[in-house]
A and B are shown apart, each in its own frame.
Chain A
């Protein structure tokens, strides 16, 4: 019996990278835009303009990941 363990491994690794990557980026974007819970928030001592730029880049990266997903569905499946 020839079990396609290799394919399953690929499914796991690619899914892990894509999903965890998008989740982390989106979380960083949301976090830097949110006010700090208390005065000591490390990320929140950074200048607002810088935080907005970081958030913009994070959301842009997420949007690109979504577009790539759509591209895979529409053209490669």
Chain B
């Protein structure tokens, strides 16, 4: 196998790793915030279920490798540059604690690199709109409405029961609902990397067009995302679990149940749906279902801005990378070295104000919220 193909497979697995630690929050933030699971236990469960989930479905992997770009017009270098763009955006948003979509970053990267290398014709824009943009912007709305309704009903039905007893009951339920989100996440997100590696092997001529992912690809992708998930993106866990709203166990349960349902149904229909946007929508909905004023809507504004920027930003980084890699002798090496340097710089910045399992649930400073009251509809 050529060096560039090997380099790109390694880069794809690194992307999968960032996808894992970027998205741990989606499944586990609400359980960590309510105390339903200890932080370290939560990431262990989530990592293990992501690995299991990787083996359970290949629907999405097939959709990605044959849907968004013209496979005949791109090369391993293009895929490498696309991945670099996606990884850079994932690291930057992780530093800022913003739960942006890893799938959008990946799609943006692939589109940007393909566009520069092979022209706009090689990008299937109708596919991009149908399979990526529209589902991704409707996903948080769907999840938000469902979680809002479920949360409202949960508080309504349980309003006369003892708060502590109800809270304890939902805490037990959260262990199951959070585990299911992780499993659904694994069935969705590990497949994006499988899709990319499969696409790579097809462009390198190792696999015939239209192939599904080989076993070693499924295993490697599952392990990468599981390891990333286990190490935990504590910065984003903190944002989703603490900064959007003070989450109580009924809200956590409602948010997780909603996310699971939306992700399973969409996976079954073969949409490459953004786990991040589904889960974030669920958490906002669960916050609003209890009491509208408790939700920090200004944070929603920041997130929507980050979401809107994700695809184009990753596309621009990947486009610049592709221009460098294809335009100069040794350009690929320059791109690889620059990417490693930027990643190291972002990691160094993150150490200035580290967030980990020990301080992920610390109170949010400057909170405009009244002290959380246990249970009950206000």
Contacts and interface: CB of A to CB of B under 8 A. Distances in A.
A8 to B, nearest CB: 6
A36 B135 contact: no
B161 A73 contact: no
> Most chain-B Cβ atoms within 10 A of its Cβ — which of A14, A15, A16, A31?
A15
Given A30-B166, A37-B163, A19 B150 contact: yes
Contact of A31 (B134, B157, B258): B157
A23 B268 contact: no
Contacts of B154: 23-24, 27
Given A16-B149, A23-B257, A73-B183, A35 B161 contact: yes
A23 B153 contact: yes
User: Which interface class (under 10, 10 to 19, 20 to 34, 35 or more) fits A?
Assistant: 35 or more
B169 A15 contact: no
A1 B126 contact: yes
Contacts of A72: 264, 268
B187 interface: yes
B173 A26 contact: yes
Contact of B130 (A2, A10, A20, A27): A2
A19 B165 contact: no
B63 interface: no
B117 interface: no
A15 B56 contact: no
Which label, helix, strand, loop or mixed, suits the secondary structure of the A interface? helix
B48 interface: no
B142 A1 contact: no
Which label, helix, strand, loop or mixed, suits the secondary structure of the B interface? helix
B269 A10 contact: yes
Contacts of B12: none
B250 interface: yes
A7 B8 CA distance: 34
A8 B135 contact: yes
Contacts of A62: 173
Contacts of B250: 27
B165 A34 contact: yes
B253 interface: yes
A50 interface: no
A23 to B, nearest CB: 4
Interface string B171-199: 00100100010011001000000000000
A31 to B, nearest CB: 4
Contacts of A26: 170, 173, 253, 257
Given A23-B153, A27-B153, A36-B160, A73 B187 contact: yes
Contact of A24 (B145, B157, B163, B264): B157
Contact of A16 (B59, B146, B169, B260): B146
A73 B130 contact: no
B267 A77 contact: yes
Interface string B243-270: 0000000100110011011101111110
B299 interface: no
Given A1-B129, A35-B165, 14 more contacts: A8-B142, A12-B146, A14-B265, A16-B142, A19-B146, A19-B260, A23-B253, A24-B154, A26-B253, A34-B161, A34-B166, A40-B160, A73-B57, A77-B267
Interface of B: 53, 56-57, 59, 126, 129-130, 134-135, 138, 142-143, 145-147, 149-151, 153-154, 157-158, 160-163, 165-166, 169-170, 173, 176, 180, 183-184, 187, 250, 253-254, 257-258, 260-262, 264-269, 271
30 contacts: A1-B126, A1-B129, A2-B126, A2-B130, A7-B271, A8-B135, A8-B142, A11-B262, A15-B146, A20-B150, A23-B154, A23-B253, A23-B257, A26-B173, A31-B158, A31-B166, A34-B165, A36-B160, A37-B160, A37-B161, A37-B162, A40-B160, A41-B161, A43-B161, A69-B261, A70-B183, A73-B53, A73-B56, A76-B268, A77-B56
